[in-house]
Amino acid sequence: MLERTLAEQRQDLRAGEYSSVELTENYLTQIDACQQLNAFITVSDAALEHARAADTQIAAGADKTLLGIPIAHKDIFCQQSVRTTAGSRMLDNFISPYDATVVARLDAAGAISLGKTNMDEFAMGSSNESSYYGPVRNPWNTDRVPGGSSGGSAAAVAARLCSAATGTDTGGSIRQPAAFCGITGIKPTYGRVSRWGIIAYASSLDQAGPMARTAEDCAILLSEMAAHDPRDSTSATRPGDDYTTGLEKPIAGLKIGICTEHMHGLDDAVRKIVDDSLAELTAQGCEVREISLPNTHLAIPAYYIIAPAECSANLSRYDGVRFGYRCEDPTDLDDLYQRSRSEGFGDEVKSRIMVGAFALSAGYYDAYYRKAQQIRRLIKNDYIAAFDDVDVILGPTTPGPAFKLGEVSQDKTAMYLQDIYTISANLAGLPAISVPAGFVDDMPIGVQFTGEYFAETRLLNVAHQFQQATSWHQRRPGDAA
Amino acid sequence: MEVTEKVVRDVAALAQLRVKAGETAGLAAGMKNILDLAEQMQSVETDGVEPVSNPLDATQIMRTDEVTESDQRERFQAIAPETEGAHYLVPRVIE
Amino acid sequence: MSSQWEVVIGLEIHAQLSTRSKIFSGASTSFGAEPNSQACAIDLGLPGVLPVVNEAVYPKAIAFGLAVGADIGRRSAFDRKNYFYPDLPKGYQITQMDEPIVLGGSVDITCKDGSSKTVRITRAHLEEDAGKSVHEDFHGCTGIDLNRAGTPLLEIVSEPDMASAEEAVAYARTIHQLISYLSVSDGNLSQGNMRCDANVSIRRTGDDKLGTRTEIKNVNSFRFLEQAINYEIERQIEVIENGGSITQETRLYDPDRDETRSMRSKETAMDYRYFPEPDLLPVVIDEAYIDAVSDAMPELPAEKKARYIEELKLPEADAVILAGDLDLATYFETCLTTSGDAVQSANWVKGELLANLKRADLAPAESPLSPKQLGTIIARIKDGTISGKIAKAVFTALWEGETDSVDAYISDQGLEQVSETSELEPIIDQIIADNPKQVAQFKSGKTKLLGFFVGQVMKQTGGKANPKQVNDLVVAKLG
């Protein structure tokens, strides 16, 4: 039953093929068996109890979209009465007094929470190697990283430890791990999903989204996650949608853009996968156009100023006073702050706070932070111009397959460049989805579709049609490549 | 961009991070890494370009002026490291 | 202070806006609650929380801006001001740096010598208040109460246009009156509704370069403001005359010792690293919105005072008292609609009424005697029903709740003035007959004795005789 997609499991539960309790038990057993993946920080001890309640409701004919479906939440979503750590020692003892809107909405839709997944500390990273709780391993090859920062969620979905999971994406943290783990993940338009209750990294870039094995599963989850939330001032005012209704639409005539700059210098094996994917789409009647995003080479520099700057302020609240880690026997106020923060935060977090504080400091603000926000406007404008000619942009999600643990973490620049294809969508606030599209070195490779503002329906439609014609998303870790 | 030890110490003070003597070099290198990367931004002219603060360029929706929160002190202070007499405690602050 | 020194003072006034809930959260702003009982998740800066703007702060800020003739920002936005302090939960304050809601403006102040001076306002912006630190009760630690964190503030920044402590206080009082008048703030200084920071510097008279300034923070009474500034001026003069120089620093005023002292924690200049608040969006205000605020504004103190003097012909001193307090002015104006006599209404309101209110520590709106009732008393004096003296007794009776109707009381107690000649004449004749000595003295030139006869008649009638009538009749009879 763990092989069934979420959409199939829904039907199965309603048809009485098995119960939510059985499904949940199976997942919990599998989680236990796969501890070496280290995908979970906290496993829920209330899951079976909730599954029992769900079964009662199913029997009574209740009609909630995710009733009885076991999912996992990235440990960046505050969950009431549950330990919520953001992968950090700073919040190791933080029992959240409230629910994130995403958690509350999925609960209300009937989903069962299996636990909180591992992640790069405070969402800063592309390999899940910076977590206080140890690295997550890629289920396809445990010597390799699952990607980050939503590495735990990606690994959990790929290893069949849950039906689906939630993630967040600030520079690619849903899409890149989805690509590395051979699953599907979508970062919606900025503001589409409420940020209330999501532990903030970079406020103008963070966005939550679903991670699952198929585009259809992602559509089901996103439909429950997407809504205007008055508690989030940056939340889009337009109401959410039922993203499953547009999945079956034929994509003939859709104009697909290929970005010249992104294809330049691409690894041959990855290029072949992008080309093959394109061929699949043209076979379905899509047209191909070349487009240019001339400022895209500035996306990484701009991101690595903006995100640290915003995070340096967002993480100032971690001071040992009202919650979280506090150092022992502080001698004075400065000692309290400095030791609590230096002991509570890991190296990558401290490094980004330093860069961020510097970029905002007197004399440097204009050259760094302001300049980066202007570059962001140029990148946004490039996309708007491109979307005059095309409906959707196709490209690689990552430069290559998942790398080995420890291989890249010492070379910071190489680590930052992992995000090269994903980051621009965050800067512009555009929606983008990664789907499995092939293998390199027996490791999954994903391709990414980027769409216009609030075009999640179209993106999920293209992804779904791609998945109807291909079977990459059906491969499992352990299968021959 | 030169990242000196003084720069590291000054920024650490602003960010309330303690930097041990042996750590400054590493932090300086990390900062320099990113700041060098950021130098690439100077290659493009941006005079008159409106910075992006919110990707949707939207405007604020307001909240009605009414009290919607009740007293939840006990719940919130249950997770606090140190409290006394309903106050959060910190080492003595001298003004 | 000798005339070789000039003083330059600017004030930053933090006025708490009188909204029900906080500027970025739905927690209550009421004063005096149990510590941390009004600090919600947003106010505490818990992980994952986000601010949402309270709509009620804008009409208040805009009303202030209109009242001082400032420009209203059609587009305003919030910024983060970053620094660490235990009463600042997020480690940054949400404020307005680049795009404040109010820019420019001015107020006129009246100095002790009666002259008028214009003080310019640089800007006024919205921001959130911080919590409170308690140093005394926690055995060597400091206790933090975050009830106040998130209370909306309007920070009003003046140009350095004031030249003395007295002018600074006059400005602070003018601002205080204005914000109370406009219901922008409750204006209760003892509750911390309005706090002043004073920037003080000195220079030799004639020097056009500004001296180094110090900032005296968080003064919450006019008296302390005056004392603090005067102390600081003296201190700075002494430092320079002894060959030293002024350090730019923040100082606190200690009222017990009447001195300012340096704040240890803010010795080095702090880099606040302002940047636009990414969790909030810019606020756009159109003409219609501003017009609506303008229409809802009450007549301002200066306009009211002028109207009282020019149209109602009140003496300036009375106009100042009445126009200075909106509640008192409202009481006066309502009383006037019933009494029809502005001067008399002014006399009674600023006299008898105000004295009684002060004694009982009541606000005009709490007066047991309503303005219409007072107006009726005045009307009854004017129409001769009662004398002025009796009127005071009626006032007291209503104040003490012995009755709630002026006319019923007058008639039940038989207080009507006696004005009928036919009633008065026999009494007057009797007095004249009983006092031949005084009659003779009066007739021989001691005209002051008229008061004696009138007084006797008043005594005989229990104060109810119409004094003017008696006066005329006695004069007629005695010649």
What pLDDT shows up at residue A481? 47
Nearest Cα residue in chain A from C142: A333
pLDDT in tens, B50-62: 999 899 989 999 9
Do A86 and C47 count as a contact with CB atoms less than 8 A apart? Answer: yes
Contact indicator for A239, A227 with CB cutoff of 8 Å = yes
CATH dotted code for A6-252+432-474: 3.90.1300.10
Vertex C26 angle, CA C24 and C29, to 5°: 90
Residue C105's pLDDT band, with cuts at 50, 70 and 90, is very high
Query: Subunits touching A (CB < 8 Å, at least 3 pairs)?
Result: B, C
Residue A81's pLDDT band, with cuts at 50, 70 and 90, is very high
pLDDT in tens, A356-408: 999 999 889 999 999 999 999 999 999 999 999 999 999 999 999 999 999 88
Structure-token pair, residue B36 = 């060098």
Nearest Cα residue in chain C from A369: C275
Give the C-alpha separation, C205 to C112, whole Å: 22
Do A342 and B51 count as a contact with CB atoms less than 8 A apart? Answer: no
pLDDT in tens, A83-131: 999 999 999 999 999 999 999 999 999 999 999 999 999 999 999 999 9
Assess whether C455 and C386 both reside in one domain. Answer: no
Residue A272's pLDDT band, with cuts at 50, 70 and 90, is very high
- Rounded to an integer, the average pLDDT of C94-115 is 91
Query: Subunits touching B (CB < 8 Å, at least 3 pairs)?
Result: A, C
Do B77 and C36 count as a contact with CB atoms less than 8 A apart? Answer: yes
Nearest Cα residue in chain B from C251: B95
- Rounded to an integer, the average pLDDT of C439-445 is 86
Residue A410's pLDDT band, with cuts at 50, 70 and 90, is confident
Assess whether C137 and C283 both reside in one domain. Answer: yes
Nearest to C48 among A196, A313, A369 (CB): A196
What radius of gyration, in Å, describes the C-alpha atoms of chain A?
Answer: 21
Nearest to A378 among B27, B44, B78 (CB): B44
Query: Subunits touching C (CB < 8 Å, at least 3 pairs)?
Result: A, B
- Rounded to an integer, the average pLDDT of C325-346 is 92
| Chain A, chain B: beta-carbon pairs less than 8 Å apart | 169
Which active-site residues of A does the annotation give?
74, 149, 173
Give the predicted TM-score (pTM) of the model.
Answer: 0.89
Say which amino acid occupies A240.
G
Give the C-alpha separation, A421 to A449, whole Å: 11
Listed by number, the residues of chain B in 22-81 with a beta carbon closer than 8 Å to a beta carbon of chain C are 51, 53-54, 58-69, 71-73, 76-77
- Rounded to an integer, the average pLDDT of A176-193 is 98
Structure-token pair, residue A318 = 């971690």
Closest CA to C220 of C185, C267, C270: C185
Say if C358 falls within a structural domain: yes
Say which DSSP state C223 is in: H
Say if C210 falls within a structural domain: yes
Nearest to B52 among A332, A355, A376 (CB): A376
pLDDT in tens, A420-463: 999 999 999 999 999 999 999 999 999 999 999 999 999 999 99
| Selected residue of A205, A237, A322 to mutate for chain C interface (largest C Cβ count, 10 A) | A322
Chain C residues with CB under 8 Å of A317 CB are: 45-47, 89-91
Burial group, residue A292, by CB count within 10 angstroms (0-12, 13-18, 19+): middle
Chain B residues with CB under 8 Å of C265 CB are: 93-95
Contact indicator for B61, A233 with CB cutoff of 8 Å = yes
What pLDDT shows up at residue C149? 97
Do B69 and C281 count as a contact with CB atoms less than 8 A apart? Answer: no
Q: Give me the number of domains chain C comprises.
A: 3
Q: How far is B17 from chain A (nearest CA, A)?
A: 5
Say which DSSP state A326 is in: -
User: Where do the domains of chain B lie?
Assistant: 5-42
Closest CA to C357 of C329, C336, C328: C328
Closest CA to A202 of C278, C457, C254: C278
pLDDT in tens, C225-269: 999 999 999 999 999 999 999 988 889 999 899 999 988 654 456
Name residue, tokens 């070496």.
A36
User: Where do the domains of chain A lie?
Assistant: 6-252+432-474
Say if C293 falls within a structural domain: no
Query: CA C329 → CA B34, C332, C392, distances in Å?
Result: 64, 5, 21
| Selected residue of C34, C38, C141, C284 to mutate for chain B interface (largest B Cβ count, 10 A) | C141
What percentage of residues in chain C have a pLDDT greater than 70? 98
Nearest Cα residue in chain C from A195: C48
Do A338 and B17 count as a contact with CB atoms less than 8 A apart? Answer: yes
- Rounded to an integer, the average pLDDT of C85-104 is 96
Do C84 and A316 count as a contact with CB atoms less than 8 A apart? Answer: yes
In this predicted structure, the answer to whether residue A235 has a pLDDT above a threshold of 50 is: yes
Listed by number, the residues of chain A in 256-275 with a beta carbon closer than 8 Å to a beta carbon of chain B are none
pLDDT in tens, C127-136: 999 999 998 8
- Rounded to an integer, the average pLDDT of C13-24 is 97
- Quickly list H helices, A134-257: 151-158, 175-180, 215-225
Assess whether C326 and C466 both reside in one domain. Answer: no
Contact indicator for C335, C369 with CB cutoff of 8 Å = no
Length of chain B: 95
Listed by number, the residues of chain A in 310-329 with a beta carbon closer than 8 Å to a beta carbon of chain C are 310, 312-313, 316-317, 319, 321-324
Contact indicator for A39, A118 with CB cutoff of 8 Å = yes
Name residue, tokens 């942009």.
A393
pLDDT in tens, A33-73: 999 999 999 999 999 999 999 999 999 999 899 999 999 99
Query: CA C153 → CA C17, C56, C127, C316, distances in Å?
Result: 6, 12, 5, 34
Assess whether C262 and C329 both reside in one domain. Answer: no
Nearest to B46 among A320, A359, A375 (CB): A375
Give the C-alpha separation, C450 to C453, whole Å: 5
Chain C residues with CB under 8 Å of A316 CB are: 82, 84, 90-92
What pLDDT shows up at residue C300? 87
Pick the CATH number of B5-42 from 1.10.20, 1.10.150, 1.10.3210, 3.90.25: 1.10.20
Element holding B73 (H helix, E strand): helix B73-77
| Residue with the larger pLDDT of the pair C369 and A178 | A178
C283 touches chain B (CB under 8 A): yes
Domain end among C234, C258, C287: C287
What pLDDT shows up at residue C56? 97
Q: How far is B3 from chain A (nearest CA, A)?
A: 10
Give the C-alpha separation, A143 to A145, whole Å: 7
| Residue with the larger pLDDT of the pair C477 and C68 | C68
Do A321 and B30 count as a contact with CB atoms less than 8 A apart? Answer: no
Chain C residues with CB under 8 Å of B88 CB are: 36, 86, 143-144, 146
Assess whether C220 and C368 both reside in one domain. Answer: no
- Residue range of the domain that includes C443: 421-478
Chain A residues with CB under 8 Å of C44 CB are: 322-323
